[in-house]
Structure 1
Amino acid sequence: MKSKLICLYLLLTVRLAFAGAGNDTLLDRLNKTIDHAHVLDAEKIRQINSIRQELSIGQSLSLQEQFRLCNLLYEQFKVFKYDSAFAYARRLRQLATLMNDPARINYAGVKLGFVMLSSGMFKETGDYLATIDVSSLPDSAKGEYYTLKGRYYYDLADYSSDEYFAPEYTRQGNIYTDSALMFSKPQTFQYAYNAGLMYQKKGNLDSARFYYMQAVAHPDITTHQVAIATSSLGNIYIRTDKQDSALTMMTRAAIADIASCTKETTAMFILAEMLFKAGDVKHASRYIEYAVADASFYGARLRKVQVSAILPIIEGEKVNSVEAQKKLLFIYAAIVTLLLLALVWLAVIIFRQYKKLQVAQQAITAAHTLQQEINEKLMEANKIKEEYIGYCFQTNSAYIDKVKKFKKLADQKLADSKYGEVKYLVNNIDLKEEREELFRNFDRIFLKIFPNFVTVFNSFFKEEDRIRLKDNELLNTDLRIFALIRIGVSDNVKIAQILEYSVNTIYTYKTKIKNKAIVPKEEFEERLMDIKAL
């Protein structure tokens, strides 16, 4: 009874996925299918254990019956778990050898080749396929062999992805796929799918789409075949820049993969990548994690590499979720409000200063005889302006301190509000890296103005005492100290503040370098200031 209910669920899941729902509805259906995946996997494992129990009788079964049961177990595992599928494929070959049946031996070799290729073992797959005697296989198995051989070369082309090897691999794949078509009945799913695949690899996307659509519409299509056909059709839509249709097909393929307990799949990975590029990080994150789990469960080496490449990127973007953006907008609004208040405050001060200057000007115009008084007022006004400039800098400095404190407070409140992603983003502000970037920018600008600075500066020293810069290094600390002096920053305290060293350290650097110079110490800075700009 339980088995019937599971089968009914599978049927409804796949058929409803094709009921013309929009992408949002399909994603909801996919999410529900993911939530029920453990039920589907448990039912598959129950079926596997049932066959294993039947096989466990062992010696009382004929070799032919053992071969049949091992083949059933292989079919259960081939897209579900690599190591088990590989083990039963090897057992198929052992049983075929005991029966001294060349057809079964080579049939088992095809099964071994399929599961190794699915795991990403290209060399081993090629070695096994080379040992198979195709002439001993029945026509149905020949079609399976040529299909596998075509996929082998197509996968090699996709893996190499270069202009030298890939075209030849694709050509070989087309040859073997064409041979597979000769051993497939025209009205079958396998014929339509292989035809679509061959046209796709030849670049005839219209014909490929035609045959893939025939495959999808086949009346006897299985759930696993639904996944294969819709995923391939989705790739056609991706290549023809029909993103909505591609998203629909890939979502249907992912639903069918889960419904058929297929762990060796690319649909979920491609779907996650598409959603990530479309800005749907929430779904992309869940689907890429599911794809990683499937690849790890199956044991597909190549799939794990492909999926893991994009996983950190998507996970890093999770901090840009809607809730985090709202919180950031609130923070930005608060900062802007503070800036506006600061600007209003400064405007009031400026207006007051302007009024004072205006009063002073009126006093000057009205009383020429009181020149001394007027001059004193003008001096006072100048003093006010000087003090105001200093005050502006002091205010800005204090404001920067407030922004720093605000950042710290915002960090704490975000942590309390469970917005860990924003906290992570804030903590990623690397002040040290910003300062290093400031130094790099200074180095570039300085050397643009004084391109011969390093060469001329080194001429003040003996060959063995000259400064040797590392690769990709424009200036180092020694050079940067004297670069600052060259542009007029000669005070040790200011240099120490800029470079974040102690005053004693700056003094030590300067003294050590001057002691090595071949020019007199009293002339050193004069010679330094003589270095010409461009």
Structure 2
Amino acid sequence: MIRPHCTLSLLTAACLYGLLAVSCSPTVDYGYAPQTLRALNELDEAMLRGGEYDAGRQRRIASLRRNLTAARSDEERVRALLDLQQVFVTYELDSAARFVDSLYAFARSRESHNFERIAALAETDVLMGRGLTDQAETLFRQIDTAGMTTLEYRNWYARYNAIVWRRQAEATDPGEHRAWLDSLRRIRHIRIGVESLPAFTRIRERALELADNGRYDEAYAELEPLRHKELAPWNTAVLYYDMGQIAEQAGQEERAVEYYTRSAIADLQAGTRSYFSLYNLALRLFERNDLERASRYMQRTLDDALACKSGARIPLTSSAATAINRAVVNDLAVRNRLRLWTTAVTSLLLVTFAAAFANALRQRRRLQHSRRQLALTNAELREKNRQLTRMSDRVRDINAALVDSNRIKDRYVCQYVDLSVYYISRLDDLRRMICRQAKTESPEALIRRLSLPQNSLRQEFAEFYRRFDASFLEIFPRFIEQVDALLLPEARIEPRSPRSLTTELRILAAIRLGITDSGRIARFLNCAPTTVYTYRTKLRNMALDREGFEERIRRIGLFDAEEHLYKTDNEK
């Protein structure tokens, strides 16, 4: 049977569960590893600090503008214009295009073929950012590579690599995609050997080449030292993006999510608006059904692409954002239906809860009344039990005393009869002797004969005590041992011989038999009452418990009598 308070608890839990289900969105475990979850939380915090990072980007732009103003030589001015174009190409393409125009104008003013080539390479970046890959490739192929400086050669390969990467990413035909991918790998291999290539870029390209050959552990080992260096945010973003690409190639989905997350954090910290890391991350979270994060991340990617006016990112990102938002809307519809059902069930549970609560209160009042009555009855029963226990103890003590008295009576009646017969015989012998002496001797001789010597009396008393000691120890065989247990260790009494008692023990034996008057004990022992008093005082002083000593003597053997009584009852 289910108790009322248990039913009440169950209904309360059910109602609370329903209310929580209505008011709270369910917490879903998407299977993230701890380090991945930490990275996602850091990314959420970084997204809230967008204004702070954008201000940092503006400070960097202001610094580069100052460099442009302070430029002394043509090379310094071209470098300053190129730096500003590179900053704006991932931040605001229109501004980047204006700096490209400035590069062209400066190159024409100086009639410098090298400066014009630098401007053309910068323009390919702008065209790629706007999604004009065909125009970017056409312009790139028109660039004359003859007489390139080491720096120009490095930049030329960087654009070549970017164009081929975009081609293989956009290729829909498998054969075409494979051809562009092979071209990308060849360019990467050549680029590694470029003399002016920065060490950071060379390590990255070498790691990606190792990953292309399936040597993923070696690729990670190549990039791992870079993670522990102090890098600029944009370099950190590129590093983690490459590691995410390697993880994706290796089929390591969890590591890919973590690395794309770290790359997205660095992109935000750098103030970049045109990136792939957050886009790739949103797609992977969408596959895990983490729709809330996927929607936020893709929307942020779209917002940044629009602010940057990146024609390459906007169509791709907007279609992905639309698909994700559609999934979010469907998910919200499902959750709303679930909430409606949960609300209905919770309402029903609340009605049931109210009825059960009222019923539980009634039953609780009845139970409290029954418990009070039961408590009173239990108290009365306990008092009765205590009284019965006391009466049982008294009856047991009385029964033990009766058994003890019966044992003593039985034994001493026999002894009394034996002694009576013995002394009657002695008196009869004495009478016959006196008759014979009276016939043959004079009265004086008869008187002398009747005057028994003192030693004969002592012999009679000794015989009496011997019989008494034997009878008493037969009734109480452990009497001496039990008396010693009541005395101090140094006052233990040692009898002169086995089966005999000393004077002290005979006094205690008389007390055990119920003779407590010192005068009666003195007549029994044929001594003065003061002697008995002295012995009793001495024994009390040697006792462990002086006040209760004689009472304990009187109770010696009672437990044996009690045991004998129970044994007799069981036999019956």
Q: TM-score range by the shorter chain?
A: 0.5 to 0.7
What residue is the counterpart of 2:312 in the other structure?
302
**Maintained 8 Å contact 1:74/1:88:** yes
The RMSD of aligned alpha carbons is 3.2
Q: What is the correspondence of 1:363-382 to structure 2 with a 5 Å cutoff? A: none
SS in 2 for 1:178: helix
1:192 and 1:214 in contact (8 A); partners too: no
What amino acid maps onto 1:192 in structure 2? I
- Aligned partner letter, 1:291: T
Q: Could you tell me which residue of structure 2 aligns to residue 124 of structure 1?
A: 135
Contact 1:70–1:91 (Cα < 8 Å) also in 2: yes
**Residue 22 of structure 1: SS of its match in structure 2?**
helix
Deviation at 1:162, TM superposition (A): 1.9
SS of structure 2 residue aligned to 1:44: helix
Aligned counterpart, 1:273: 283
- Counterpart code for 1:127: T
CA contact (8 A) 1:142 1:180 kept: no
Preserved CA contact (<8 Å) 1:184 1:191: no
- Alignment correspondent of 1:83: 94
Give the alignment of 1:100-499 within 5 angstroms.
100-184=111-195, 188-201=199-212, 205-213=216-224, 215-217=226-228, 219=229, 221-319=231-329, 327-333=336-342
Quote the offset at 1:257 in angstroms: 0.3
User: Computing the radius of gyration over CA atoms, which structure comes out larger, 1 or 2?
Assistant: 2
**Structure 1 residue 31 and structure 2 residue 40: aligned?**
no
Q: 1:313 to 1:160 in 2, by over 3 A?
A: same
**Cα distance between partner residues in 2 of 1:37 and 1:333:** 39
Residue type at the aligned position of 2:310: A
Change (3 A) 1:63 1:200: same
Give the direction of change, closer, same or farther, for the CA distance of 1:132–1:311 in structure 2 (3 Å limit): same
Deviations 1:281-328 (A, max 9, x none): 111111110000111122222211221122122212334668x76653
Counting aligned pairs with the same residue, the percent is 20
SS at 1:136 equivalent: coil
Distance apart, 1:226 and its partner CA: 1.0
Partner of 1:43: 56
2:178 partner letter: P
Change over 3 Å in CA distance of 1:201–1:76 after alignment to 2 = same
Aligned length in residues:
317
Post-superposition Cα deviations, 1:24-78, rounded to whole Å, max 9, x if no partner, equal 2222211121111122213322442454467579xx9764453233123113212
- Aligned letter for 1:92? L
Deviation at 1:256, TM superposition (A): 0.3
Contact (CA 8 Å) 2:154, 2:196: kept in 1 or not?
Answer: no
SS for the counterpart of 2:174 is coil
Tell me the TM-score normalised to structure 2 length.
0.50
Note closer, same or farther for the CA distance 1:55–1:147 as it changes in structure 2 (3 Å cut): closer
**Given that residues 81 and 297 in structure 1 are in contact (C-alpha distance below 8 angstroms), is that contact kept between their aligned partners in structure 2?**
yes
Residue range with higher mean Cα deviation, 106-115 or 194-203: 194-203
CA distance in 1, matches of 2:242, 2:117: 29
Report if the CA contact (8 A) 2:78-2:115 is conserved.
Answer: no
Give the secondary-structure state (helix, strand or coil) at the position aligned to 1:259: helix
**Closer, same or farther: CA 152–99 of 1 in aligned 2, 3 Å:** same
Give the distance between the partners of 2:278 and 2:309, measured in 1 at CA: 16
Q: TM-score, normalised by structure 1?
A: 0.53
Distance 2:232 2:92 in 1: 19
Q: Distance in 2 between matches of 1:248 and 1:281?
A: 17
Using the TM superposition, give the Cα deviation of residue 149 of structure 1 relative to its aligned residue in structure 2, in angstroms: 0.6
CA distance in structure 2 between the partners assigned to 1:50 and 1:334 by the alignment: 59
More contact order relative to length (CA 8 Å, sep ≥ 6): 2
Structure 2: state its 5+ residue gaps.
1-32, 350-572
Structure 1 portions without partners, runs of 5+: 1-19, 341-534
